[in-house]
Amino acid sequence: MLTDRRVADSLSTMPKSPASKSKGLDHVALAILDLLRTNPAGLDIEEIKAGLTYGGTHTHVDRRLRSLRKYYDIPGKRHGGRFIYILGEQKTGETDSGAVSGKLRAQVLGLAKGRCQMCGKTIAEDGIKLQVDHKVPQDWGGLTVLENLWAICLDCNNGKQAHFASYDQDEMTALLKIESVHLRIATFLKMHINEDVDSNMIEFVANAKERQEDWQKRLRDLRYPVIGLKISTGRYQTPQGFTRSTYRLENWRDLPHDHRQLIRAWEKKVNRPALTAKLGLKNVQP
């Protein structure tokens, strides 16, 4: 267990820490860095919270771990029933600082044409202010490139940040690395099996790697008997009176490696009897 004395010591040595030169690391992040340094076997989030003398909520610690990850590898791993964080190597060389250059900002705002790219409100009619935001957060592996930037209003940005903070960074980083859009959507739904998932989040996951012209189609593909996921739909009203759709995964089975080919084959009706017989599919409408 950490003593207050050790934390006080680590705080007093902070200014000499190499990372203190790194912009964007506040004193809480630096205190967490020193906690991890003095505990090379790793700490779970409760231990980190306990090590911060001035207290700190889960969200605060999470955010600082994310900011530290711009400068250090901090792998998280399950250890018994705990999820622990271990301080790894300091990152070297050119890293994407996340700073958006003036030229890039102008390009993004030019494409937005005065309209929030999330909710559609405009500067002219609704008096909103636009902010340039990373679609896929940097902490989840998103890059500072035109394709991953958009202009959204303050309300949308705040709502997005709050919602995204509820996801696990490691889980999302791993998810967004999956190449197949079908597998990416399916894996995301599996993370929330038997829960209603907002269509906005599925759209986000679908588009995370490349723009999908029709992400709903990719979702419907997963219901084909050759894939066999049961996905039900729902609707709800937002407090502002907008109708949103939700999707709920009700069963799971691993996607076959050749799922793309199977989906394409199933789309030709002529192939269906043979596929039904070959894969032993049941309850299939002819």
Judged by beta carbon, residue 30 or residue 128, the one nearer Zn ion is 128
Under 8 Å between Cβ of 70 and 91: yes
35 or 152: CB nearest Zn ion:
152
Min separation Cβ 130 and Zn ion, Å: 9
Q: Which is nearer to Zn ion, 3 or 240 (CB)?
A: 240
Query: CA 73, CA 89: separation in Å to the nearest integer?
Result: 5
- From residue 66 to residue 105, what is the string marking binding to Zn ion with x (rule CB under 5 A)? ----------------------------------------
Contact 7, 31 (CB under 8 A): yes
| Min dist. Cβ of residue 142 to Zn ion (A) | 19
Q: What DSSP designation does 68 have?
A: H
Among residue numbers 125 through 164, which ones bind Zn ion (CB under 5 A)?
A: 153, 156
- Interface mask toward Zn ion for 25-64; x: CB under 5 A: ----------------------------------------
Furthest CA-CA distance within the chain:
75
- Give the dihedral sign, CA 256/261/267/268: negative
Q: Which of residues 99-128 bind Zn ion (CB under 5 A)?
A: 116, 118-119
Cα 73 to Cα 50: distance, rounded to the nearest angstrom: 22
Question: Using an 8 Å Cβ cutoff, are 154 and 131 in contact?
Answer: yes
Site residues for Zn ion, 199-228, by CB under 5 A, read none
Q: What is the DSSP letter of 279?
A: H
For residues 99 and 154, which CB has a smaller minimum distance to Zn ion in the complex?
154
| CB closer to Zn ion out of 48 and 118 | 118
Cβ-based nearer residue to Zn ion, 136 or 219: 136
State which of positions 162-181 bind Zn ion (CB under 5 A).
Answer: none
- Cβ 115 to Zn ion, closest distance in Å? 9
Phi and psi at residue 127, in whole multiples of 5°?
65, 25
| In the complex, least distance from residue 153 CB atom to Zn ion, rounded to whole angstroms | 3
Least spacing, CB of residue 118 vs Zn ion, in Å: 5
Q: Is 24 helix (H, G, I), strand (E, B) or coil?
A: coil
Q: How far is the CB of 116 from Zn ion (least distance, A)?
A: 3
Q: How far is the CB of 156 from Zn ion (least distance, A)?
A: 3
**Tokens representing 20?**
């203190």
Q: What are phi and psi of 20, to 5 degrees?
A: -65, -15
Say if CB 202 and CB 216 are below 8 A apart.
Answer: no
Using CB under 5 A, count the residues that bind Zn ion. 5
Helical H segments across 113-194, by residue range: 123-126, 154-164, 169-176, 181-191
Q: Which residues pair with 115 in a beta bridge?
A: 122
Nearer to Zn ion, 69 or 115 (CB): 115
Where on the chain is the footprint of Zn ion (CB under 5 A)?
A: 116, 118-119, 153, 156
